[in-house]
Structure 1
């Protein structure tokens, strides 16, 4: 639309110029034939410039398009212990920062979010939309889940079900499936060995990220700290044993975030080293942008316009 307006503006101004030259020539009793040569020349190269700006495309060619990626579920523990501040500003906030970095590095992969404590739910299905994932991440807080301890069984069962909904057995074998399990390791459910065996059968790799310290910390609760039934302040500690066991049993790895180190970069590198599946391979018709041809002709006519001189009025 802008190109058309530019052409109309040029045409209108040039018509005004021609009328003025015609009046001056008429005053001296002459006919300015030369001005029409310049007019036609300039009309031609302005039209060619507009065509070049519009980007003409022709000459179809075949091109093969391949998309390669992984399916990644990020499961984050939202039990109350994730509010502990042994990792500043809190375990959950540090985990969210790590997840943002993780998502930004895998823009060609489908990523989904799962939240869990004693239960597990899909917070975001598998998607390529990084902006949507970031919005979902910002809403994460421990209050989203029912009160209770951490249980890995519901989240592992949910992941097994979601990854099991494939189109064909052949797709199951080729698909790169990854679960990033983020927790402080306080598993009160058990049955890790049984679920590890099942995930291993489905070619699902678990990369575990432990958040917290073995020294532990109090859990903020309003203006005080969480207490047990006896009125004693609860101290929550990182228990990596179950996470390590689960990762090793599924050909994955265990990483950690504590007050001294953050192994997010190592986690990203480990996932990068896994080959993704070829999701789609198809041939499409592609037309090339041939703007250079009208642009070259326009430059040639501009050069002629500069070199050719005409006398409009002889005095």
Structure 2
């Protein structure tokens, strides 16, 4: 967020402290008189002293240190008056992230820490921490063969983290249900579009830029996926794909037998599942986004890449007015003048005076910030 300070709008919250500026004003007059006397003495000295080479006489002698000290005092008094100014803030437009989380049976494979589902939930928590939650909003839908919206577009982080806490261990789709043993990405994308349409129906058109974040272990490319991606492209919604799992994969665990049923005499053939990078990358390319993969980069890096890409698409949402406290600028200027005065010192006695002045300045700053 970029801000421009309007100097014409500067005002003081404690204007009664400004009368103290009389002291540095008087000291500046005294300093000017001393500078004039120094220049007269220098000219008189040159006229009465004869040397074989030209002698250089400093312009102000040791007076520059005192000028810096007077200016530092003036800046400190201005800080005591608590100056504030109006600022124009170029506000970045918000983003709407719609999370499309795979909840099919293959997400129970334990080829990553915990299993693929738990690994996804940990990443989504980091992604939520990367948002500003002022103008940014987030929604979430789960899908297997069917889809189930979990969170409508919201800017309340408590709502989002509430669902993450309850979904942290396992998918709400039961492993024993036949509908869980299928991955229907096209339906997940379709429901993502429905979430955006419903939000627009309830709250009107939002200026936020939209983006889908698909978290899955893969699905074979089909015409239905292409049609869902075309629907997202028509609405200018890119699809970023985050792969979870490994190329080696693992066995999908069988659901526990239903109560009251006898276990099968012949156990079912184990089903192996591995990360399908090719199909996920194809979805990302067709969706106008990028393919990213958990554990290739850190969760924070992946989340930042997604959010940064959305911010670049968002642009700015206009200029808004705010108020900026300027007393820290005054204290910084005072510290700079004190430091500059120390650089200009030549005599040890003056250095001790400078040290005392710096200590007094630090004491003032400590008093103001208590």
TM norm structure 1: 0.60
Indicate if the aligned counterparts of 1:152 and 1:189 stay in contact, CA closer than 8 A.
no
Indicate if the aligned counterparts of 2:98 and 2:213 stay in contact, CA closer than 8 A.
yes
What does residue 255 of structure 1 align with?
Answer: 292
Counterparts in 2 of 1:188 and 1:150: CA distance versus 1, 3 Å: farther
Distance 2:217 2:246 in 1: 9
Note if 1:87 corresponds to 2:112. Answer: yes
Indicate if the aligned counterparts of 1:153 and 1:190 stay in contact, CA closer than 8 A.
no
Distance 2:307 2:280 in 1: 17
| Higher share in helix | 2
Query: How many angstroms does 1:94 deviate by?
Result: 0.9
What does residue 253 of structure 2 align with?
Answer: 220
Distance 1:211 1:287 in 2: 45
Note if 1:114 corresponds to 2:141. Answer: yes
Note if 1:72 corresponds to 2:109. Answer: no
Distance 1:112 1:279 in 2: 21
Note if 1:232 corresponds to 2:257. Answer: no
Distance 2:256 2:197 in 1: 45
Query: How many angstroms does 1:268 deviate by?
Result: 2.3
Which structure is richer in relative contact order (CA contacts within 8 A, separation 6 or more)? 1
What does residue 127 of structure 1 align with?
Answer: 154
Distance 2:231 2:255 in 1: 41
Counterparts in 2 of 1:62 and 1:212: CA distance versus 1, 3 Å: closer
Indicate if the aligned counterparts of 1:212 and 1:238 stay in contact, CA closer than 8 A.
yes
Indicate if the aligned counterparts of 2:186 and 2:225 stay in contact, CA closer than 8 A.
yes
Query: How many angstroms does 1:209 deviate by?
Result: 0.7
Counterparts in 2 of 1:196 and 1:114: CA distance versus 1, 3 Å: same
Distance 1:60 1:270 in 2: 35
| Higher share in strand | 1
Distance 1:62 1:188 in 2: 52
The count of aligned residue pairs is 225
SS at 2:125's partner residue?
A: helix
SS at 1:158's partner residue?
A: helix
Note if 1:154 corresponds to 2:182. Answer: no
Distance 1:248 1:193 in 2: 11
Q: Which runs of 4+ in 1 moved over 6 A?
A: 59-65
CA-atom RMSD in angstroms: 3.5
Query: How many angstroms does 1:127 deviate by?
Result: 1.4
Structure 1 unmatched runs, 5+: 1-58, 289-315
Query: How many angstroms does 1:90 deviate by?
Result: 0.6
